[in-house]
Amino acid sequence: MPTLGIAALLDAYFRRRFAAAGLVEASVELDGGATTVHCWRFPPPVTDADADADARPVLVLLHGFGPPATWQWRRQVGPLARRFRLIVPDLLFFGGSGTSAPGARSEAHQAEAVAKLVAAMVPGARRVCVAGTSYGGFVAYHVARLLGPAAVDRVVIASSDLLKADADDRALLRRGGADRVEDVMLPRSPERMRRLVRLAYHRPRRFTPGFVLRDLVQIRVAMEIATETILLQYLYNDKVEEKIELIKGITLGNKDQFQLTPLQQEVLVLWGEHDQIFPIEKAFEVTRKLGANARLEVVKNTGHLPQEEDPKRFNEALMNFLLPAPKSSL
pLDDT in tens, 34-78: 999 999 999 987 666 666 678 899 999 999 998 899 999 999 999
The reported pLDDT for the residue numbered 223 is 34
> Per mean pLDDT, which range of 85-94, 203-212, 288-297, 299-308 is the poorest?
203-212
Task: Tell me which residue range forms the domain holding 112.
Answer: 3-322
Q: Is residue 154 part of a domain?
A: yes
Domain CATH for 269:
3.40.50.1820
Q: Which helix (H) or strand (E) holds 39?
A: strand 35-41
Residue 292, helix vs strand vs coil: coil
Q: Is residue 214 part of a domain?
A: yes
- Residue 126: pLDDT band by 50, 70, 90 thresholds? confident
- Residue 218: pLDDT band by 50, 70, 90 thresholds? very low
**Percent of the chain residues topping a pLDDT of 90:** 68
Q: Is residue 234 part of a domain?
A: yes
* Whether the predicted pLDDT of 256 surpasses 90: no
Positive or negative torsion for Cα 103, 107, 108, 113: positive
The reported pLDDT for the residue numbered 219 is 38
By the 8 A CB rule, do 159 and 136 touch?
no
Q: How many domains would you assign to the chain?
A: 1
Q: Is residue 330 part of a domain?
A: no
What span, in angstroms and rounded, lies between the C-alpha atoms of 282 and 27? 36
Q: Is residue 147 part of a domain?
A: yes
pTM of the predicted model as reported, rounded to 2 decimal places: 0.89
Q: Is residue 150 part of a domain?
A: yes
Average pLDDT across the chain, whole number: 87
Q: Is residue 52 part of a domain?
A: yes
What span, in angstroms and rounded, lies between the C-alpha atoms of 157 and 311? 16
What span, in angstroms and rounded, lies between the C-alpha atoms of 225 and 58? 39
More confident residue, 7 or 233: 7
Q: Is residue 292 part of a domain?
A: yes
Cβ neighbors of 15 (< 8 A, separation 6 or more) are 70
The β-bridge partners of 128 are 58, 152
